Structure 1
Amino acid sequence: MAPVIEKPLAARVQVIAHRGASAWLPEHTLAAYARAIADGADFIEPDLVMTRDGVLVARHENEISGTTDVAMHAEFAARRTVKHIDGVEVAGWFVEDFTLAELKVLRARERLPGLRGVRHDGLYPIATLDEIVALAACESAARGRVVGLIPEIKHGTYFRDIGLPMEDALLDALATDAYMRAAPVEIQSFERGNLRYLDGERRRRGMANVRLLQLIGEPHEQPYDVAAAGGTLNYAEMTTPRNLRGIAGYADAIGPPARMVVPLAPDGGLAAPGTLVRDAHAAGLEVHAYTFRPENAFLPPALRAGDDARRNEAGSLAEIRACLAAGMDAFFTDDPAVGRKAVDEA
């Protein structure tokens, strides 16, 4: 029997630049976002954390030793410390211990140097949310097409607990910018409580262009706000049909790992799609899968060709197209040019 092809809910499948064109340039830099837009991304994604003086900046994590040259700055040596972030002990330097002016002294570094090299290290500063919004507006005007923003609130409970809540700051920034009041925006979080809060606030403020994305972690993991409150709900339970209907009460989409859309087969290839997309669509939720990367190291074993560090566009296209056939509505990719090709030539 031929497999059933699930159709997306979205009128047009969206290509999301995961931290910019991060297969080519250090992630979360203005250069990476600009290339992503040039390569055809529909949305650019800043992961948001907050400085000591309350400025939203783009970093994958609040610990920045792996993505900046902070360890090379003797003036900041005493800031190295150990913290517990979402229940995990982490050592290093943390955004919330720096003012924006101090962070602007630092320069970005490649997070995966073994795969992607270091030729761009030291060239780009940390970008603020305001700078990213200005870039999106400028590029949209220059290219004659709308560029959306899909920010992720990182470690929402942690930042709230240290007196730096990000949710209202993000909504305020969106509401005061002319471009962002009309452009498509989708706010993401792996937590649930802040999305419920944001849902109420977007309705109260009349922010009709703002959608919400409930990110889904690995099945055994929990949203940290649930774990911190002593709850037992994990992501596997969140993806049951009943709980998907609950998510649809406050969010517009879910963001699962790609392997929850199309699992691995025993031979290392791709198996038939699971039921997640169908179940999410039945609940009225779009599915925005993550993260498609063009290097062999990240591909299903049967799609690899050559060593782990080698780019494998054909393998990446095959993986994306399998998930497109499963009905996903949008997807995060480190290489938006490959993602654009997968959609446009499907």
Structure 2
Amino acid sequence: MTGRYLSRRGFIAAATKTAAATAAGLAGTLLPAAATAGPARPLVFAHRGASALRPEHTLAAYAKAIADGADFIEPDLVSTKDGVLVARHEAFLAETTDVAKRPEFASRRVRRTIDGDTHEGWFVDDFTLAELKTLRAIERIPVSRPESASYDGMFQVVTFEEVIDFVAAQSATIGRVIGLVPELKHSTYFARAGLPLEERFMATLAAHEYTRRAPVEIQSFEVANLRLLREKLDKRTNLRLMQLVGIGPVKPSDVAAAGGSLTYAEMATPAGLREIARYADVFSPPTRALIPLAKDGRLAAPTSLASDARAAGLRLETWTFRPENRFIAADFRDGGGEHARNEAGSIAEMRRYLELGLDGFFTDDPALGVKAVAG
């Protein structure tokens, strides 16, 4: 499948050419993110925006990511009660909004299990968009990210369409194309709730000139939705499909719901990767599946996964690098404490993984990712 899609330079350059020619609503000329000649460099994906510095999935987080040089920004997508796609990392709202402090919504506190994880609190599909818009974003891990937490209460939850319009305007303003890497979250859960994501998602892509032309990589931890999107969107040369995987014997949610036996561990075998290449363009494992941690917390020897993915004809784009000591391998930590921000260590860790020949990677701090790529 990947053979019919363009290389990174061609992917962005083609999107740039068509966007500049057809997006009459955008001011200025859209230029490629990497206009210089030479080999393709790894893509820097802004994980939930610049989520190390601003509350995740807010326009502020996306603006900071774009200003810091991200090639793509990531809106994770879930559905409101009235069927609107909004940018949240999961259906559970308590960790990233101020809903727990809103007495008008106290009666909506429930206990629910989604994709095997049980939470007690408030869930996006119990709220209309109008209700969700009254909430304000907060930082998920304020002890580690006090700068981001200082923005608590300032920003709204945003819709997918608002994200697209914002990125299109930013692209026109700064003169380079910014890609989108949306993730369809909990597809099986939302389908069972009568709020299927896929048709509304495809309709939104088709309705916006920017997403008809600019680079878009669509991610999921599930399998059936990517297979559907491959069938429906196969002729769209500005799109790639990304299969996310976890580590070990865990099953994708759609596989588990259907009583299947396929696990992420099996998907990461050479045979599993060849099967992924039948419907997806990108294989995206967690970083520690590529270079695991030893017992002392330092990086061990790389696994064969990087070479296996390339042998299957797949791009390799890993998740997620974070700039605090608690998330960094012991090789690169400094003496600042587990919650301390460690820019040099994060850059060094990313560079170690880049030696594997990554095509792209997710980072909570795109500015550091850009420095890592620059060498």
Aligned length: 335
Q: Provide the residue aligned with 2:291 in structure 1.
A: 262
Q: Provide the residue aligned with 2:359 in structure 1.
A: 329
Q: Provide the rounded CA distance (Å) in 2 between the counterparts of 1:21 and 1:51.
A: 24
Q: Provide the rounded CA distance (Å) in 2 between the counterparts of 1:138 and 1:312.
A: 33
For residues 20-59 of structure 1, the aligned pairs below 5 Å read 20-59=49-88
Q: Provide the rounded CA distance (Å) in 2 between the counterparts of 1:325 and 1:89.
A: 38
Unaligned stretches of 5+ residues in structure 1 = 1-8
For residues 55-70 of structure 1, the aligned pairs below 5 Å read 55-70=84-99
- Contact 1:16 / 1:336 at 8 angstroms: preserved in 2? yes
Q: Provide the residue aligned with 1:294 in structure 2.
A: 323
1:160-208 deviation line (CA, Å, top 9, x unaligned) = 01110101111111111011100000110000011101110102xx322
Q: Provide the residue aligned with 1:12 in structure 2.
A: 41
Choose which of 188, 192, 202 in structure 1 pairs with 2:219: 188
Taking structure 2 as the reference length, what is the TM-score of the superposition? 0.87
Q: Provide the residue aligned with 1:278 in structure 2.
A: 307
Choose which of 75, 80, 84 in structure 1 pairs with 2:104: 75
Q: Provide the residue aligned with 1:5 in structure 2.
A: none
For residues 117-156 of structure 1, the aligned pairs below 5 Å read 117=146, 118-156=149-187
Taking structure 1 as the reference length, what is the TM-score of the superposition? 0.95
The 3-state SS of whatever aligns with 2:143 is: helix
Q: Provide the residue aligned with 1:162 in structure 2.
A: 193
Q: Provide the rounded CA distance (Å) in 2 between the counterparts of 1:256 and 1:243.
A: 13
The 3-state SS of whatever aligns with 1:31 is: helix
Q: Provide the residue aligned with 1:313 in structure 2.
A: 343
Q: Provide the residue aligned with 2:228 in structure 1.
A: 197
Q: Provide the residue aligned with 2:20 in structure 1.
A: none
Identical columns (%): 58
Computed over aligned residues only, the root mean square deviation of the Cα atoms, in angstroms, reads: 1.2
Unaligned stretches of 5+ residues in structure 2 = 1-6, 9-39
Which residue identity does 2:364 align to in structure 1? D
1:216-240 deviation line (CA, Å, top 9, x unaligned) = 1122221011111112221111111
CA shift, 1:266, in A, is 4.4
Which residue identity does 2:340 align to in structure 1? R
CA shift, 1:132, in A, is 0.6
Q: Provide the rounded CA distance (Å) in 2 between the counterparts of 1:277 and 1:218.
A: 14
Q: Provide the rounded CA distance (Å) in 1 between the counterparts of 2:169 and 2:47.
A: 20
Choose which of 129, 132, 143 in structure 2 pairs with 1:103: 132
CA shift, 1:143, in A, is 1.1
CA shift, 1:271, in A, is 2.5
1:219 matches 2:248: yes
Which residue identity does 2:371 align to in structure 1? K
CA shift, 1:310, in A, is 0.8
- Contact 2:77 / 2:87 at 8 angstroms: preserved in 1? yes
Which residue identity does 1:310 align to in structure 2? A
Which residue identity does 2:49 align to in structure 1? G
Which residue identity does 1:302 align to in structure 2? D
